[in-house]
Structure 1
Amino acid sequence: MLPQLRPLLASAILMVVLWSCGQKEQQKPTQPQEIPVTVMDVNTQTATYQDQYPGTVIALNEVELRPQVSGFISGVHFKDGARVKKGQLLYSIDAQLYAANYDQAVAALHVQEANLARAQKDADRYHALAENDAVATQLVDNAEAALEVARKQTEAAKANIKAVQTNVRYTKVVAPFSGTIGISQVKPGSPVTAGQTLLNTVSTDSQLAVDFNVDQKEIYRFTQLIQDNKAADSTFTLAFGKQVYPYPGKIALLDRAVDSQTGTIKVRLTFPNPANTLRAGMTGNVLVRSDTNNNAVVIPNKAVTEQLGEFFVYVIADSSKVSQRRIETGRVIGSNIIVEEGLNKGDKIVVEGVQNLKEGSKVSIQANKASNLAKTK
């Protein structure tokens, strides 16, 4: 071998040796890296939450006031928006024409009563003559017919007086029940037409109702609430934005039938209104408290992952490895969620570090300094 080739050969041998060592180093198996996670023990508890439904405040009794006789308004006897009592005088309609009609009807009755008296005397006289065969039978019959006509005319005159008296009474419009009256639609001197002109509206105010719709699947639930709700408690509350009405409601009834187009049924609650702060027509949210049994599984929402519309959690298996388990989720309660199926009491699930995991990942469990489960309300 030529002396000048010896350094090159040595360098080549050295490179081969180094490459072989590197290959052996790469062929050594690597240990999987443990992923730090925080876990919690699955437990059962009672979960309390509130279902929310849009509702409308309505009056339990509301009446549009319309006149029953035509004429001109002669007086308005209340203040707009005031509270009125049953039987209180609200409107007066000019009664001069109806009073004159009454006087005329009374006079007509007197005339008919006089005619009746005369017909009675004629009939009596003809009957006396007929007993002695001193008058024709036809004259007696005519006298009886005239007497009957006079009786009917007298009865008609009396009925007319009652009708005219009713019209006179209808010139006074009174409150049909105690409640709040609205803004008057007419002023003194305004012409009104019987049965057509709207005068005002009166509605009850001491207790108001709230109507809302629920899905037909909830009929059984609300039927049970009707049977159980013997007094107003915190089951039903009413909220207007962030402001909650201070008095709880009581369920009154379910509507007669389900709406076939929407598949919903109307529920009615009643609320006391001592401060008159509820007004018909207001809209708000009905909050219905629900309590699960004490076997509800509640976990933090952050422990749940979603894949193609299905929900999963990572469960700690043997050798500190995780296994992905599909679950059926229920109601969301704040930062937590109810698990309907898939988890049992005593399971260990990952609540932090979920995003770094896959099936079979090896984990190292870290101390959980904070509470695993938020308060479920």
Structure 2
Amino acid sequence: MKTRHLIALLLAAAVLVSWLFWPRGIAVDVVKVERSPLTQSVVATGRIATPSRIELGTQITAIIDEVTVREGAAVNAGDLLVRLRATDADAAVEQARSQIAEAQARFTQLDAVGLPVAEQAVKQAEANLRVAEAEYQRAQALVAQQFFSPSKLDEAARQLDTARAQLRTAQAQRDANTPRGAERVSAQARLAQAHAALESAQARRDLLTLRAPVDALVIARDAEPGDVAQAGRALLTLAENGETRIYATLDEKNLRYLRLDARAQAVADAFPGQPFDAVVYYLSPAIDAQRGTVEVRLRVTEPPAFLRPDMTVSVEVVIGRKEQALSLPLEAVREVDSAAPWVLVARDGTAAKLPVKIGLRGVGRVEITDGLAEGDVAIMPAGGALDGDRIRIKPARGAPGPTPNLGR
């Protein structure tokens, strides 16, 4: 009897020792593969930009007489902004106008005096020629009858040649005063030259009056009355009114996710509680080799009133969204940035390595597009389990009892 009790006691002790020292597996934390909404976005820092920034200056050196605006002023196209001293330019304009008046008076002289006088001179020369021809014929007859010496005929021939020359001169003078004559062409050239001189003088004077080229906001003033404006130096800086834009830079590794017309949400650092919408409209074709970034430009469709040029903003560009994405926590996917990511899953109390394909990456979660099914159990890496290890699943935090084995 005692022997039987001893044997039973030894068997019980053996069972207890086996239970205490038998390998029970590595304790691990697990998560289930679930379906849930998933949004992937990239975040960048940028600045508010206007359609264009205009530096207003002058092409000539002159003294500044008046500056009509200050920083922050809204101006309309054509508004007077800066007036430079124009004494010499005004004098040049008046001189050009007097040259035009002189050239126009020359036309009046040609019409009222020059042409009529030239026509009368032609008539007088024609009459003189007729007289000279008659005298030559009479002298020729008398010399033939030996009433005059041959020298008389020579004198008559000389007077005839002179009359003919005078007629040609008078005709040339008359032709020069006709609408297509040289005198009128010369007068037209002088008039055109005077008009050109007036346009040049007016253009130079216009350079001394600086006006707003577009509707804009004055963001810098670098000129005061009495200063000497130098050619090429900006006096005012304007930000053109129009659609508000954001110029931002993103890490080039995110370039594959970006597309035109992608929606984004921006927040100004100065107003963190007032986000506003934006849309991507430009992706730079080049990469900044030194920084490894790509420039992205966004259009702000409804800019809030507090935005200012050059204001710093943070931009979150949404590059993908699914309402029912099969996903896991990001840390559950091993080598997620490699070409062959994988997940360690629980299968019948054993850890098994499975390759997976990933899609969208949200905040702390990643989409599984292939390799796992909904309800599969992934092992978190903190437990240190490896492929083929025996495992036991830790109870969930705050759970009243042990968590059952969820592996298949």
Q: TM-score surpassing 0.5?
A: yes
Cα–Cα, structure 1 residues 165 and 296, in superposed 2: closer, same or farther, change >3 Å? Answer: same
Partner of 1:348: 377
Structure whose CA Rg is larger: 2
SS in structure 2 of the partner of residue 346 of structure 1: coil
SS in structure 1 of the partner of residue 106 of structure 2: helix
Q: Is the 1:76–1:90 Cα contact (8 Å) retained in structure 2? A: yes
Cα–Cα, structure 1 residues 361 and 354, in superposed 2: closer, same or farther, change >3 Å? Answer: farther
Unaligned runs of 5+ residues in structure 1 are 1-20, 227-233, 372-377
- After TM superposition, give the deviation of residue 100 of structure 1 in Å: 1.7
Partner of 1:106: 97
Partner of 1:252: 281
Report the Cα distance in structure 2 between the residues aligned to 1:44 and 1:200, rounded to whole angstroms. Answer: 58
User: Is it true that 1:140 corresponds to 2:174 in the alignment?
Assistant: yes
- After TM superposition, give the deviation of residue 203 of structure 1 in Å: 0.6
User: Is it true that 1:199 corresponds to 2:235 in the alignment?
Assistant: yes
Q: Is the 2:50–2:240 Cα contact (8 Å) retained in structure 1? A: yes
Where do 1:190-229 residues align within 5 Å? 190-193=227-230, 195-205=231-241, 207-213=243-249, 215=252, 218=255, 221-223=258-260, 225=261
Range that drifts further, 83-92 or 323-332: 323-332
Partner of 1:236: 265
User: Is it true that 1:279 corresponds to 2:309 in the alignment?
Assistant: yes
TM-align CA RMSD: 3.7
- After TM superposition, give the deviation of residue 102 of structure 1 in Å: 1.7
Report the Cα distance in structure 1 between the residues aligned to 2:336 and 2:103, rounded to whole angstroms. Answer: 96
- After TM superposition, give the deviation of residue 118 of structure 1 in Å: 1.8
Report the Cα distance in structure 2 between the residues aligned to 1:261 and 1:102, rounded to whole angstroms. Answer: 55
User: Is it true that 1:156 corresponds to 2:202 in the alignment?
Assistant: no
User: Is it true that 1:317 corresponds to 2:347 in the alignment?
Assistant: yes
- Give per-residue Cα distances to partners, 1:333-361, cap 9 Å, x unaligned: 4433334553332322224x852423333
Q: Is the 2:77–2:214 Cα contact (8 Å) retained in structure 1? A: yes
User: Is it true that 1:361 corresponds to 2:389 in the alignment?
Assistant: yes
Range that drifts further, 236-245 or 98-107: 236-245
SS in structure 2 of the partner of residue 80 of structure 1: coil
Partner of 2:156: none
Q: Is the 1:313–1:327 Cα contact (8 Å) retained in structure 2? A: yes
SS in structure 1 of the partner of residue 299 of structure 2: strand
TM, length-normalised to structure 1: 0.73
User: Is it true that 1:126 corresponds to 2:118 in the alignment?
Assistant: yes
Report the Cα distance in structure 2 between the residues aligned to 1:73 and 1:49, rounded to whole angstroms. Answer: 56
Report the Cα distance in structure 1 between the residues aligned to 2:86 and 2:208, rounded to whole angstroms. Answer: 6
Report the Cα distance in structure 2 between the residues aligned to 1:180 and 1:100, rounded to whole angstroms. Answer: 34
- After TM superposition, give the deviation of residue 219 of structure 1 in Å: 7.1
Q: Is the 1:105–1:161 Cα contact (8 Å) retained in structure 2? A: yes
Report the Cα distance in structure 2 between the residues aligned to 1:277 and 1:307, rounded to whole angstroms. Answer: 39
User: Is it true that 1:188 corresponds to 2:225 in the alignment?
Assistant: yes
SS in structure 1 of the partner of residue 322 of structure 2: coil
Q: Is the 2:28–2:383 Cα contact (8 Å) retained in structure 1? A: no
Report the Cα distance in structure 1 between the residues aligned to 2:314 and 2:342, rounded to whole angstroms. Answer: 33
SS in structure 1 of the partner of residue 352 of structure 2: strand
Partner of 2:39: 48
SS in structure 2 of the partner of residue 51 of structure 1: strand
What is the aligned length? Answer: 333
SS in structure 2 of the partner of residue 277 of structure 1: coil
Cα–Cα, structure 1 residues 44 and 109, in superposed 2: closer, same or farther, change >3 Å? Answer: same
Range that drifts further, 181-190 or 236-245: 236-245
Partner of 2:152: none
Partner of 1:32: 23
Report the Cα distance in structure 2 between the residues aligned to 1:317 and 1:277, rounded to whole angstroms. Answer: 56
